[in-house]
Amino acid sequence: MRSPAPGSHFTRSPVVRHSPAHRFPASSPPRTDTVHDDTIRALFPALAESSEVYLDSAATTQKPLPVIETIHRYHSSRTANAGRGAYAWSTELTARVADVRARAAAFLGAQHADEVVFTAGATAALNAVALSWGLAELADGDEILYNPRDHASAVHPWHHLRQVLARFGRRIELVPYRTTELGEADTTDILGKLSPRTRLIVTSHLHHVFGAVTTLEELRGRIDPSVLLCFDCSQSGGHLPVDVTELGADFAVFAAHKMLGAPGVGILYCHRRIHDRLLPFLPGGNSGVRLTESGLVGTAMPDLLEGGTHNIPGILALGSALDVLESFGIEAVAAHNRALTLRLIEGLRAAPGLEFLPGPAHAPCETGYGIVSFRIAGISAADVGFVLGELGFLVRTGLHCTPSAGQGDDDLDSVRVSTHIYNTLDEIDRFTACVTTIAEEVT
């Protein structure tokens, strides 16, 4: 990879550190008792009826039959609202939503079910952090550390919060930190930018472009316990083991549609130690607040942040998605993605003029989490994506919702490949052969 330009957000990281929960031995294959290509293909109708190769699971995952059937069943049988009625249709749904909440808490390593809030998505969850915690807690001069190369949904809410607070005379500072050449958050830079006014550090757990894992474990014991940690787990949830307790997260967000579930549902994890520091996010019906003579008074979590009618079919579908993921074993899913990533990197190295963006391709050890981005000299990423699409390979191209792009970071314009349990080594081999042919023709 070329050396970073002066002023670049990249810094060199001499050592790769990964949480034990994310180490997968090179010899670890997917569980053969549950993972079979034909069986998996049949489980995902959109793949079963198509000859195209779907390599865009970082944008959204394919939906398995149990998820599809759960959504259909809700709308076609005993449709009701949860938590609103005393009749069986409603009370049964209330119990089912509570069960999905408990299962989601266990899946992501939360200690208590009331730490799991259902939102309209990961973007809504991050905005809930900004508006329910930030509005209530931040004072003039307080600071938030963030990565401008993270997804826009993990960047824009803090800028919006700053603008809102400024209208009321409170001016907070947003302090950007750098990314290493391996695609991880630069913890050395973070430590250098911490100040007595730092209140929150925000980072991607698995980066949506670079495919690198950041745990912030290097910060443990070296920062004031009052500094809160917020992890965007949109790409890691459902792709590799995530334990919010091990991460030391105060907030963590997940997107159901990237966990084999349906769009319109997100998970916001809020550690119990900060529950009493939150304002209602969506005050209204069933929002965990009550109106008193002195104004609105919050009651208990998670209702405090769940105003309005739940996306009931989406939440139930999340439960079915967790069933599917647990039937595979999340460790097996991660091991499978790792094997595909290593095969992909190995195959793409032969393509002339191909340059990998930061990530697993530059790691000193064999690692991978299902996301690899690259570009080819002499042809735009958009043109590569168009040709690949015409040949039946579905990938993401462009700037990948990264807000720093267009501000001196247009080198993020790339082709992104992202995998999941339904992809095969044969698909990767055919893809890399196709990319090599394209590269040979333009160089």
Catalytic residues: 401
Residue 173, strand partner residues: 143
Residue 296, strand partner residues: 291
Containing H/E element for 40?
A: helix 37-43
Q: Is 92 left (phi over 0), alpha (psi -120 to 50) or beta?
A: alpha
Whole-number Å distance between alpha carbons of 330 and 242: 9
Q: Which of 414, 17, 419, 57 is nearest to 213 (CA)?
A: 17
Per DSSP bridges, beta strands 143-146 and 251-255 are: unpaired
Residue 414, strand partner residues: 398
Three-class SS of residue 24?
coil
Give every CB contact of residue 209 below 8 A, 6+ residues apart in sequence. Answer: 149, 183, 357, 359, 371, 373, 400, 402, 412, 414, 416
Whole-number Å distance between alpha carbons of 47 and 29: 22
What b/e readout covers 119-157, taking b as 16+ CB neighbours within 10 angstroms? Answer: bbbbbbbbbbbbbbbbbeebeeebbbbbbbbbbbbbbbb
Give every CB contact of residue 170 below 8 A, 6+ residues apart in sequence. Answer: 138, 139, 140
User: In Å, how far are 9, 179, 374, 415 from 357, measured between CA atoms?
Assistant: 13, 12, 5, 10
Give every CB contact of residue 32 below 8 A, 6+ residues apart in sequence. Answer: none
Per DSSP bridges, beta strands 53-54 and 116-119 are: unpaired
Q: Which of 161, 137, 132, 157 is nearest to 288 (CA)?
A: 132
Q: Which of 248, 11, 335, 25 is nearest to 149 (CA)?
A: 11
- HSE, side-chain direction, 13 A CA sphere, residue 259: 33
Give every CB contact of residue 105 below 8 A, 6+ residues apart in sequence. Answer: 111, 112, 113, 115, 116
Whole-number Å distance between alpha carbons of 326 and 347: 30
Whole-number Å distance between alpha carbons of 97 and 85: 14
Structure token digits, residue 386: 């168009």
